[in-house]
C-alpha cells in the first residue's frame, strides 16, 4: 500500500473504533497523550488521556469505600451483577470481538472465542456464588464446633496484557465480584479501548441490577500507573499478567507491604511427539498452538520435542502446513495469522532467528516479513527452526511465532527437556501409549499438562496458571476463587465449660 492509501485505511479503522465504542455504550474519549494503536496498520485508532497518580489514588479510594458495603451483600445477590454482565456480553459479542481485533490484531474467530470465554467465566462465577464452601471438622473439646469460613478480601488490583485484552480481565473480575471484592483494573497501554468498553458494560450492568457501579474502577496508562496500583496498601490483591520481568518487579513490592500476589507470567511451552502419535492429529494441534494469535499467547507452543525416528516426516508435514497459512489483515475472511503487536515484537523475532542460525540451527521455513499494510504494520510468516540442542536461546521466551524443533531418543530425556527451562506454564504430549501419557502427566513440571492436544486453548473450568518463572498463580476455574478471599478458622463454644486445647489446665 502507498502512504496515502495506508493513511486512509488507518482513518477508516479509527472511524470504525469510534462506532464500536458508541455501540457498546462507551463515550469516545477526549484526546490525550495515550494513543490507542492498531497493529493492523500501525496507525492510531484514538488518542485518549492517561490516568495521573491522583486519578489512581482516587480510583482505589472509591473501590475501598465501595467494598465496605459490597462485602455485606450476599454472594448469590452479588452474582446478579455478573449475570447481567454476561447478558450484555452475549448481546454485544460481535462488537466487542471486533474491537479486540482492531486493538490486538486477532483474527475474527479468535476474538469471538475470547469474548465467549468471558461469557463462560461469568457463568462459572454465577454458579460459584452458591459454592463458596467452608469446612467443619471435629473439635477435641466437648461442646465446641471447629470450622473454616471464607470472607471477602478487599480491593483487587488487576493488571492485564495485550494478548488477551478482555478474557483475563473477566477471569479476575467475575470471580472477585462474586467473592465480595471490588476491582481496580489497569489494562495494557496497548489495548486501552477494549478496557474502556468492558468498564462501560460492567457499570451499565451494575446500574441495571441496582448494584453500586463504584465496585469497578478503570485506570489507564503506562507502567507508572501499574506501579501506583501495586504499591498502594489499600489494594489487598494484585493480579498481574505479563512478562517475567514485570512479575519480578511486582512481587517484591507487594510482598514488602504484606499484600497478596497472583502472577501469570511467561511460558516456554513444549509438546512431545512420541513414535506412537497420531501424526495427522499432532500436525493440526501443533500448527494452531504455534501459529495461532501469531505466536503471541502465553500458552503458544515454542518448543517441539520429536522422537528421532519421526522428526523428518513431521518437519516435512509441518512445512507443508506452514506454507499454506494465510497471513494477512485479521478483518479479512480466510486469514489465519494476523500481525505482530508492534515493531518491537518483530525486532525480537528477527534477533532470535539470527541467534538460532549462529547456534547451528536451520530455519526450515518462515520468519520473513510480509509487506501488506504499510511500514508501521508487522506481519510475518510463522517460522520453524531445527536446533541441534536446547540452547540458552531456546530456553528464553520470544513472544512471536517461532517453533524450535528438538529431538529425543527416550521419554525420560524428552520430559527432562520439557522441564529444563525457567518457565512452567503449559505442556503436551502426542502419544497413543497410555503408559507414556501417564508418565508425562506425572513428570511434567508445568501447571497445564495435556495429552493429544496442543499447549493452548484452555477451558475456564480448570485452574489456569503455571509454576517456576510463570509465577505460581491460578485463575479462572476450580478453586481459584480462594485467591480472592481470606480464610478464617472459627471455634464456637456452646458448652458451659471452658476447656483448653491440647488438654492444658490453667489456674
Domain boundaries, the chain: 3-265, 269-460
Longest pairwise C-alpha distance within the chain: 92
Q: How far apart are CA 338 and CA 291, in angstroms?
A: 10
Residue 164 phi/psi, 5° resolution?
Answer: -130, 75
The fold for domain 269-460 equals Aldehyde Dehydrogenase; Chain A, domain 2 (3.40.309)
On the CB side of 38, how many CA atoms lie within 13 Å of its CA? 30
Per-residue pLDDT of the chain (507 residues; tens, 9 = 90+): 556 778 889 999 999 999 999 999 999 888 888 999 999 999 999 999 999 999 999 999 999 999 999 999 999 999 999 999 999 999 999 999 999 999 999 999 999 999 999 999 999 999 999 999 999 999 999 999 999 999 999 999 999 999 999 999 999 999 999 999 999 999 999 999 999 999 999 999 999 999 999 999 999 999 999 999 999 999 999 999 999 999 999 999 999 999 999 999 999 999 999 999 999 999 999 999 999 999 999 999 999 999 999 999 999 999 999 999 999 999 999 999 999 999 999 999 999 999 999 999 999 999 999 988 889 999 999 999 999 999 999 999 999 999 999 999 999 999 999 999 999 999 999 999 999 999 999 999 999 999 999 999 889 999 999 999 999 999 999 999 999 999 999 999 999 999 988 888 876
| H helices present in 26-107, as ranges | 53-70, 75-91, 93-104
> What pLDDT does residue 506 have?
79
Cell (9 digits) for 61: 479510594
Q: Among this protein's residues, is 264 annotated catalytic? A: yes
Whether the CB-CB separation of 179 and 485 falls below 8 Å is answered with yes
> What pLDDT does residue 501 have?
87
* Beta strand 144-152 pairing with 485-493: antiparallel
Q: Which residues pair with 450 in a beta bridge?
A: 428
Q: How far apart are CA 108 and CA 114, in angstroms?
A: 10
Q: Which residues pair with 430 in a beta bridge?
A: 273
Cell (9 digits) for 450: 495435556
For residue 232, what is the DSSP state? -
The CATH code that applies to domain 3-265 is: 3.40.605.10
> What pLDDT does residue 30 have?
86
Tell me how far CA of residue 349 lies from CA of 81, 127, 330, 393, in angstroms: 42, 43, 20, 12
Catalytic residue among 103, 264, 436, 475: 264
Give the CA radius of gyration of the chain: 24
Model confidence, pTM = 0.96
Whether the CB-CB separation of 168 and 161 falls below 8 Å is answered with yes
> What pLDDT does residue 416 have?
98
> What pLDDT does residue 2 have?
59
Nearest-5° Cα angle at 300, 103 to 264: 75
Amino acid at each position: 500500500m502507498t502512504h496515502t492509501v495506508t493513511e486512509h485505511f488507518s482513518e477508516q479503522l479509527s472511524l470504525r473504533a469510534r462506532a464500536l465504542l458508541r455501540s457498546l455504550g462507551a463515550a469516545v474519549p477526549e484526546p490525550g497523550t495515550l494513543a490507542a494503536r492498531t497493529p493492523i496498520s500501525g496507525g492510531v485508532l484514538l488518542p485518549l488521556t492517561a490516568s495521573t497518580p491522583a486519578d489512581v489514588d482516587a480510583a482505589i479510594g472509591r473501590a475501598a469505600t465501595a467494598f465496605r458495603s459490597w462485602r455485606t451483600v450476599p454472594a448469590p445477590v452479588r452474582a446478579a451483577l455478573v449475570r447481567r454482565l454476561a447478558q450484555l456480553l452475549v448481546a454485544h459479542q460481535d462488537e466487542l470481538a471486533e474491537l479486540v481485533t482492531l486493538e490486538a490484531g486477532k483474527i475474527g474467530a479468535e476474538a469471538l472465542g475470547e469474548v465467549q470465554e468471558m461469557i463462560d467465566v461469568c457463568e462459572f462465577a454465577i454458579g460459584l456464588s452458591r459454592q463458596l464452601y467452608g469446612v467443619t471438622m471435629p473439635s477435641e473439646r466437648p461442646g465446641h464446633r471447629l470450622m473454616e469460613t471464607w470472607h471477602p478480601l478487599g480491593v483487587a488490583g488487576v493488571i492485564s496484557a495485550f494478548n488477551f485484552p478482555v478474557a483475563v480481565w473477566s477471569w479476575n473480575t467475575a470471580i472477585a465480584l462474586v467473592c465480595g471484592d471490588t476491582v481496580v483494573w489497569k489494562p495494557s497501554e496497548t489495548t486501552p479501548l477494549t478496557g474502556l468498553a468492558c468498564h462501560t458494560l460492567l457499570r451499565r450492568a451494575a446500574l441495571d441490577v441496582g448494584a453500586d457501579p463504584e465496585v469497578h474502577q478503570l485506570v489507564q496508562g503506562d507502567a507508572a500507573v501499574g506501579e501506583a496500583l501495586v504499591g498502594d496498601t489499600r489494594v489487598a490483591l494484585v493480579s498481574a499478567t505479563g512478562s517475567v520481568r514485570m512479575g519480578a518487579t511486582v512481587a517484591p513490592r507487594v510482598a514488602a507491604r504484606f499484600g497478596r500476589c497472583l502472577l501469570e507470567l511467561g511460558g516456554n511451552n513444549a509438546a512431545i511427539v512420541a513414535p506412537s502419535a497420531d501424526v495427522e492429529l499432532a500436525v493440526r494441534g501443533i500448527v494452531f498452538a504455534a501459529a495461532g494469535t501469531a505466536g503471541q499467547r502465553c500458552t503458544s507452543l515454542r518448543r517441539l520435542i520429536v522422537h528421532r525416528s519421526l522428526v523428518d516426516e513431521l518437519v516435512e508435514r509441518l512445512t507443508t502446513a506452514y506454507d499454506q497459512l494465510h497471513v494477512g489483515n485479521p478483518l479479512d475472511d480466510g486469514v489465519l495469522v494476523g500481525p505482530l503487536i508492534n515493531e518491537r515484537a518483530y525486532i525480537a523475532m528477527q534477533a532470535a532467528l539470527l541467534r538460532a542460525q549462529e547456534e547451528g540451527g536451520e530455519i526450515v521455513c518462515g520468519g520473513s516479513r510480509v509487506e501488506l499494510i504499510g511500514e508501521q504494520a508487522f506481519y510475518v510468516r510463522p517460522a520453524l527452526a531445527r536446533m541441534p540442542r536446547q540452547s540458552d536461546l531456546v530456553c528464553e521466551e520470544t513472544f512471536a511465532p517461532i517453533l524450535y524443533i528438538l529431538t529425543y531418543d527416550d521419554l525420560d530425556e524428552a520430559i527432562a527437556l520439557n522441564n529444563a527451562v525457567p518457565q512452567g506454564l503449559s505442556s503436551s504430549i502426542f502419544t497413543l501409549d497410555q503408559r507414556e501419557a501417564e508418565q508425562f502427566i506425572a513428570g511434567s513440571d508445568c501447571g497445564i499438562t495435556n495429552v493429544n492436544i496442543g499447549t493452548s486453548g484452555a477451558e475456564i473450568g480448570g485452574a489456569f496458571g503455571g509454576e517456576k518463572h510463570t509465577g505460581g498463580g491460578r485463575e479462572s476455574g476450580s478453586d481459584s476463587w480462594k485467591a480472592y478471599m481470606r480464610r478464617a478458622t472459627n471455634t464456637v463454644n456452646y458448652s458451659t465449660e471452658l476447656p483448653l486445647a491440647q488438654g492444658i489446665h490453667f489456674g
